[in-house]
Amino acid sequence: MGEANQAELCEQVKRMIVKAVKLKIPAEKIENTKPLFGPEGIGLDSLDALEIVIALEKEFGVRIPDREVGRQVLVSVETLVKFILEKKGG
Amino acid sequence: MDDILNRDIKEILPHREPFIFIDKVLEAKEGFVVASKIIKGDEDYFKGHFPGQPYMPGVLIVECMAQTGGIACSTLSKDMKGGIFFLSRICDVKFVQPVIPGSTITMRAQVIEKYPPFYKVDVTGEVEGKIVAKGEIVLTKQEGGRV
């Protein structure tokens, strides 16, 4: 996948997060490497993980099967994009 | 699954009086449960909600549906049986009709999403075939088994 397409995928993922968890900050304000959870993060809590897992499957057709994988994937926009690309073979 | 139907509710639910909001389980399949609760009218909460005009509080209707949801989750696998499920989120629940003394509420709960320990459950409450409340809830399974 080219850089432009990957950048667009990042934006798509950010929009998905904002919509899924009704985040109060706009998608364009989310940095690719900013943690999703924790005090340094964009403000998601553990229950939001469920909403992101659901949205990820709905919008991108990829499933995070369990929390073990979730701990690796639900880290930042960057890790989510990496997971989508791996699953999609991109 | 049939064993759930014939068991005392205290063997299925981890709750105890005065916080048991299911009388019996009527139907159970993997991830789906129908249960019922008779609202007799002598419940303590009717004294204040409201004096002379008894209506079952909406939060307690949610509790009826949440307890049914917990049983629906416990049907998903053997290691879910007997687990404690906390109500973690109430998503867009509507209360369509009031519930008054003498009603029997029939609750339906269908697990629609899972990302353990979180379970999203579609729930409804009906009285005499009419929906009184409906919505989605999220239950979280207590980790480490039963208290």
Residue A70 forms contact with B (CB below 8 Å): yes
- 3-state DSSP assignment of residue B127: strand
Mind listing the pLDDT tens digit for each residue in A35-44?
A: 999 989 999 9
Q: What is the b/e burial string over A57-83, where b = at least 16 CB atoms within 10 angstroms of the residue's CB?
A: eeebebebeebeebeebbbbbebbbbb
Which residue is closest to B114 within chain A, CA to CA?
A50
A29 contact partners, CB below 8 Å, separation of at least 6: none
- What percent of chain B is helix, strand and coil (3-state, nearest 5)? 20, 40, 40
DSSP-assigned states of every residue in A35-87: -SBSTTSSSB-HHHHHHHHHHHHHHH-----SHHHHHHHTT-HHHHHHHHHHH
**pLDDT recorded at residue B146:** 41
The per-residue pLDDT for range B53-107, each reduced to its tens digit, is 999 999 999 999 999 999 999 999 888 888 899 999 999 899 999 999 999 999 9
What ipTM does the predicted assembly reach? 0.87
Contacts of B113 in chain A (CB under 8 A): 50, 53-54
Edge-to-edge strands of the sheet including B104-115?
B24-29, B32-38, B104-115, B118-127, B130-141, B85-95
Q: Is A49 on the interface with B (CB under 8 A)?
A: yes
Chain A nearest CA to B128, separation (Å)? 34
Over the stretch A23-36, which tens digit does the pLDDT of each residue have?
Answer: 999 999 999 999 99
Looking at residue A5, what is its pLDDT?
Answer: 86
Q: Which pLDDT score, from 0 to 100, does residue B145 have? A: 47
List of long-range contacts for A67-73, beta carbons under 8 Å, 24+ apart? A67/B115, A67/B116, A67/B117, A70/B115
